[in-house]
Structure 1
Amino acid sequence: MNLTDNTTAACNEVSRAALRLQVYLAHAGVASRRACEGLISSGRVSVNGNVVTVLGTRVLPTDDIRLDGIALQIETKFHYLVLNKPPMYICSSSDPQGRSLAKDLLPMPRERLYNVGRLDYRSSGLIIFTNDGDFAAKVSHPSAKIKKEYLVEATGPIPDTMIAEFEKGLEIEGVFYRSTEIERLGRKSIRVVLIEGKNREIRRVFSHFHLHPSKLHRIRIGPVVLGSLGVGESRALTEEEKEILLQRRT
């Protein structure tokens, strides 16, 4: 069965079954399941006119489900896009500080799109957007072990000890960090590959060694490479890239 068949089967199954509310929201293209849990907990979601804050609440596609008063429906057409995010764009559906949103750089299909994983505000490079909740959950889960590759430039010389410790693994404030691959490119620059992708991992390791990344640029997610994609430009994932990501071959 190919990806199209899987997608059609999933849509048919979703149309018949009761779903956890956060799963329904993800299938409606609102955000990733984890982000949807936050929306529910904050009281922004209602079911049949009643605000629901309990995670795991079961709903049917026939229920009246709303986010901030706006009715939602399960998406039936999925999109998968790659964006070369510029720095100073935030990966979020909205921002109370009014900062520029990465998703606003994408073409404007009717369906909602949200980012799979994150790049922080100052970082740049490759990020995937979709409205397929199942795809997002599988690709972003740590068990997928998808490699992510970065080019990093520092404000000062990078010591050999930092490279050696990051490759071996080190604990910072109770959290263990280790690169899968690391290579010196210059006096102030490295190439680093991560699998787990803990929150702000590279920046925390740099800070531990009293350094600051002046540039943090992601160039690969599993089989998907940035290549010649221009800053702020996007393209569709290929069928082959989607299949490999779902098969967890990195």
Structure 2
Amino acid sequence: MNSNSGQRHPGSSSQLRLHVFLARCGEGSRRACEELIKKGRVRVNGRVITNPAHRVDPQEDRVTLDGRDVHLVGKFLYLAFHKPPGYLCTRSDPQGRPLVYDLIDPVLPYKVFSIGRLDFLSSGLLLLTNDGEFADIVMHPKHRVEKEYLVETKRPIPRALLESYLKGIRIEGERYVLKAYKSKSPHKVHLILEEGKNREIRKVFYSSHLPIVRIHRIRIGPVRLGRLRPGHFRNLTKEEIRLLREGRGHDDHSH
């Protein structure tokens, strides 16, 4: 593992909206920080604030989240992480299951969060950062960032299912659309999604009574998992960061 420095945050004494301030403290994307504020988990100078647009002065105001002081991060981190199966992408779990952050927090100088998630059983590429504004760019639907998965099943995958998925499948009122696929064998297929809704692949395959053996994410936009070992991470390259910042959601070298 390594944790080389990212980019320094420019100093600022001007007032910031509360959700922007929290994002720059590495507490999540702006949207996620808005939810934290609306739930009453954030205090400014001891007073609960539920308005994300409330303005704070990073130099003068004391801001706490769940009673913990938060501060602007000194350095931004942008990481590619290989999530093993059997880990949750959350900060806590009532059932006490293993967390991704149990592997990451002890070896990083700053707290990070995942840009999107993989479910408990799925494995593969996760992007991690403490730059909430960068996360917002990557997650924004208008950038249509591709996510590529290797999916393995117990039974042969019907071509008709994949073709229907390309056109759009509606399950319990939700529509799921596949961008592209490439069959590797009767039981294995590469899927490319742009949105990637919660447990989407599992819902689509289970709707056709197709048991899944493995879901493994190998690419997010221009970032590939490559030979990164499970439980390890690397810094994103300057080029990968630039492409993601520019909203380049595809990979020119993808098949």
State how 1:82-161 maps to structure 2 within 5 Å. Answer: 82-106=80-104, 108-161=107-160
Superposed CA RMSD in Å reads: 1.7
Q: Which residue of 2 aligns with 1:54?
A: 51
CA displacement, residues 163-201 of structure 1 (integer Å, 9 cap, x when unaligned):
110122222222221111112222222110011122221
Q: Which residue of 2 aligns with 1:44?
A: 41
Q: Write out the 4+ residue segments of structure 1 that deviate beyond 3 Å after TM superposition.
A: none
Letter in 2 for 1:31: G
CA displacement, residues 56-113 of structure 1 (integer Å, 9 cap, x when unaligned):
3222212110012111111131011111000111111222322211122226223211
Q: Which residue of 2 aligns with 1:236?
A: 235
Instruction: Verify the 8 A CA contact 2:29 2:133 in the aligned structure 1.
Output: no
Comparing 227-236 with 52-61, greater Cα deviation is found at 52-61
Query: How far apart, in 2, do the equivalents of 1:43 and 1:108 lie?
Result: 31
Letter in 1 for 2:44: V
State how 1:1-250 maps to structure 2 within 5 Å. Answer: 11-12=10-11, 15-61=12-58, 62-106=60-104, 108-249=107-248, 250=250
| Structure (1/2) with the larger helix percentage | 1
Query: How far apart, in 1, do the equivalents of 2:52 and 2:210 lie?
Result: 40
CA displacement, residues 19-65 of structure 1 (integer Å, 9 cap, x when unaligned):
22222111111222232233223322111101122333222212110
* SS of corresponding position for 2:10: helix
Q: Structure 1-normalised TM-score?
A: 0.90
Letter in 2 for 1:158: I
Query: How far apart, in 2, do the equivalents of 1:34 and 1:90 lie?
Result: 20
Query: How far apart, in 2, do the equivalents of 1:82 and 1:103 lie?
Result: 14
Query: How far apart, in 2, do the equivalents of 1:98 and 1:31 lie?
Result: 22
Query: How far apart, in 2, do the equivalents of 1:141 and 1:78 lie?
Result: 20
Query: How far apart, in 1, do the equivalents of 2:39 and 2:154 lie?
Result: 39
Instruction: Verify the 8 A CA contact 2:85 2:121 in the aligned structure 1.
Output: yes
Structure 2, unmatched stretches of 5+, are 1-6, 251-255
Query: How far apart, in 1, do the equivalents of 2:34 and 2:222 lie?
Result: 29
Comparing 35-44 with 62-71, greater Cα deviation is found at 35-44
Q: Structure 2-normalised TM-score?
A: 0.88
Percent of paired sites with the same residue: 47
Query: How far apart, in 2, do the equivalents of 1:245 and 1:81 lie?
Result: 12
CA displacement, residues 122-169 of structure 1 (integer Å, 9 cap, x when unaligned):
110000111111111101111111111000012322212111101222
